[in-house]
Chains A and B, each alone.
Chain A
Amino acid sequence: MSHAIEVTQGPKVYGYIAEFEEPEQLVEAARKTAEAGYRDFDAYSPFPIHGLAEAMRFKDARVPWIIFVCGIIGAAVGYGLQYYVTVFDYPMNVGGRPNHSWVQYVPITFECGVLFAALGAVVGMFGLNGLPRPYHPVFEAKNFERASDDRFFLVIEASDGKFDPEGTRRFLEGLGPVEVNLVEAEEV
């Protein structure tokens, strides 16, 4: 990581990780961490926890907008394609209906809107999350394989302005975790 800091002796540090047993503890810890003024920190859990993002004071409303815009573009493309085909490129008299028979364009317009919006949802969501990303320093942390099973983790990253190896560690220990460990940064 570019924002890893050098600690005298020993490995480069990505951050400190605290392990919790219950989701409520993690929410509480995240709230306190945000209150303490930390910004570069993240919580890890085996399922989405209601209220966790709010506790972390993390906001991001881009995904719904991406989906909305993609849906509008899709519908416009669908309608435009039909309009182009039946009015300009290949006009054909079908039972005396007007070339621009909008009623019959509704199904394809709708389907294209949904298709684009769904693609926008998945690509946009994973893209904003920075996935796919097969490797990440937290995977090396002790017990982290249980983050996809039954444990809850909080990581304060070394890139945070308030980060200080001893103070941050003590701060995390004060939150009542099972244990606190060092996360090494990726070797560049």
Chain B
Amino acid sequence: MAVVQAFSETTRVRAALNLFGVLALGGLLAGYLDQPTPALQSYLYAWILFLVLTLGLLGLTLLAHVLKAQWTRPLLRIFEAGGGAPSLALMLVLFVPILLQLPRLYIWADPEVVKQDHILHLKQLYLNVPFFLGRLTFFFAVWMLLAALLRRSSLRQDRTGDPAERDYRTNLASGGLAAFCVLVTFAVTDWVMSLEPHWFSSVYGIWFLTQMAVTGLAFATAVLLLQANKRPYAEEVTPKLLKDLGTLMFAFSMFWAYITLSQYLIIYSANLPEFVPYYLHRSQHGWQALMWVVAALQFLLPFFVLLSPAAKRNARIVLGMVLVILAARVVDTFWIVMPALRHEGFELRWTDPVAVAAVAALWFSVFLGQLRKGALVPSYLPSKGADSHASH
């Protein structure tokens, strides 16, 4: 039986993606020349959307090396390809246009605004452009180093079969995961929370970490299941794996709902003027519709569908569910980012989809290129115990 190899023909696809990405960026540039600030807002949204995905995949790479679980095996290379150093480098490069126009998006970078705002004046020690740049460089440097070391070791074990590589990765990833979580907290504070610089929420880092976990797992599962009838995934996608992935998707979604709701409940109940505007703004002027869409797609639907063990063993249902969850992520990120910038109420501009398409095309081009560099499923098993079992 001739089973097609997954991702065997990517060269032309990548070229097309690159071309499309550059064209879309050109369209966005046209939008920028017409109305700079709205176009930049669209671009920032697209950047954050893919940042969450990239970091989610990096976090799951780290988690996979710590847990050494069976279900990570067919997903590992997808995690590595999307959360690797090249994807991070792309995200870093794509941040340059935002850096060039920082005050248009981040009001704390505008000296005129800071002069008239006592709180921002006090925050200048942290929220100032040079320090912001330094932190940005540091975050990306650490993430890229972690991703590169793990990826190299993982590919090396494919060639040499040396099991010592596994222990090395586990040790590196244990400390790396702790560092990753702390750095993500500070990073999203810088890049997302500081869009509304008066507001803060101490669960913000964990909230974004759960968003990243949900996005990364849903994305990797979608890639796997869309190629499920091709080599080498065909042998890997068993009802057992599907059930594990369905259960994890369920658990991650519920944890996301838990963090999201408890942050809302705490701020709602305290009703303090420093905190409550965040939700007041996001629950009226049309933004509330997005909130309900996200609640339905990210919580209600996965809850009732993935509760059933039979549904979790059905590849089509699991695939449908992760696609729904990815759609929810697109809406949710819009709901988190855009109300901070568009104060007149809900508004969708033509530059929004163009920006997303541009970043997506370039991102997928890097992703596909990375997937090709190495076996799609590692030749070794995630843990020693599994090795000895397999040899029986």
Beta-carbon contact of A104 and B271 below 8 Å: no
Beta-carbon contact of B271 and A95 below 8 Å: yes
Within B222-277, which residues are at the interface with A (CB < 8 Å)?
Answer: 261, 264-265, 268-269, 271
Chain B interface residue count, Cβ-Cβ cutoff 8 angstroms: 7
Q: Specify which of A68, A97, A106 is in contact with B265 (CB 8 Å cutoff).
A: A106
Beta-carbon contact of B269 and A104 below 8 Å: yes
Beta-carbon contact of A103 and B264 below 8 Å: yes
User: Complex Cα distance A37/B352, Å?
Assistant: 66
Interface 1/0s, chain A 96-110, versus B by CB < 8 A?
A: 110001011010000
In the bound complex, residues from chain B placing their C-beta under 8 Å from that of A95 are 271
User: Complex Cα distance A68/B264, Å?
Assistant: 27
In the bound complex, residues from chain A placing their C-beta under 8 Å from that of B269 are 103-104
Look across to chain B and name the residue whose beta carbon is closest to the beta carbon of A68.
Answer: B307
User: Complex Cα distance A106/B265, Å?
Assistant: 9
A49 CB, nearest partner CB in chain B, Å: 19
User: Complex Cα distance A5/B324, Å?
Assistant: 59
User: Complex Cα distance A97/B269, Å?
Assistant: 9
In the bound complex, residues from chain B placing their C-beta under 8 Å from that of A96 are 271
Beta-carbon contact of A103 and B268 below 8 Å: yes
In the bound complex, residues from chain A placing their C-beta under 8 Å from that of B265 are 103-104, 106
Within A82-140, which residues are at the interface with B (CB < 8 Å)?
Answer: 95-97, 101, 103-104, 106
In the bound complex, residues from chain A placing their C-beta under 8 Å from that of B307 are 68
Look across to chain A and name the residue whose beta carbon is closest to the beta carbon of B270.
Answer: A95
B71 CB, nearest partner CB in chain A, Å: 20
Interface residues of B (CB under 8 A from A): 261, 264-265, 268-269, 271, 307
User: Complex Cα distance A101/B268, Å?
Assistant: 10
For this complex, 15 residue pairs linking A to B, each with C-beta atoms less than 8 Å apart, are: A68-B307, A95-B271, A96-B271, A97-B271, A101-B268, A103-B261, A103-B264, A103-B265, A103-B268, A103-B269, A104-B265, A104-B268, A104-B269, A106-B261, A106-B265
In the bound complex, residues from chain B placing their C-beta under 8 Å from that of A101 are 268
User: Complex Cα distance A78/B268, Å?
Assistant: 21
User: Complex Cα distance A103/B260, Å?
Assistant: 12
B312 CB, nearest partner CB in chain A, Å: 13
In the bound complex, residues from chain B placing their C-beta under 8 Å from that of A106 are 261, 265
User: Complex Cα distance A68/B307, Å?
Assistant: 10
A68 CB, nearest partner CB in chain B, Å: 8
B124 CB, nearest partner CB in chain A, Å: 34
B157 CB, nearest partner CB in chain A, Å: 33
User: Complex Cα distance A103/B291, Å?
Assistant: 14
In the bound complex, residues from chain B placing their C-beta under 8 Å from that of A68 are 307
Nearest 9 A-B pairs (CB), nearest first?
Answer: A103-B268, A103-B265, A95-B271, A103-B264, A106-B261, A104-B269, A106-B265, A104-B265, A104-B268
In the bound complex, residues from chain B placing their C-beta under 8 Å from that of A97 are 271
User: Complex Cα distance A101/B283, Å?
Assistant: 14
User: Complex Cα distance A95/B264, Å?
Assistant: 17
In the bound complex, residues from chain A placing their C-beta under 8 Å from that of B264 are 103
Look across to chain B and name the residue whose beta carbon is closest to the beta carbon of A96.
Answer: B271
Query: Besides A103-B268, A103-B269, A104-B269, 12 other CB < 8 A contacts?
Result: A68-B307, A95-B271, A96-B271, A97-B271, A101-B268, A103-B261, A103-B264, A103-B265, A104-B265, A104-B268, A106-B261, A106-B265
Within A167-187, which residues are at the interface with B (CB < 8 Å)?
Answer: none
User: Complex Cα distance A37/B268, Å?
Assistant: 64
B88 CB, nearest partner CB in chain A, Å: 37
User: Complex Cα distance A106/B263, Å?
Assistant: 13
Look across to chain A and name the residue whose beta carbon is closest to the beta carbon of B308.
Answer: A64
Look across to chain B and name the residue whose beta carbon is closest to the beta carbon of A107.
Answer: B265
Look across to chain A and name the residue whose beta carbon is closest to the beta carbon of B271.
Answer: A95
Interface 1/0s, chain A 67-78, versus B by CB < 8 A?
A: 010000000000
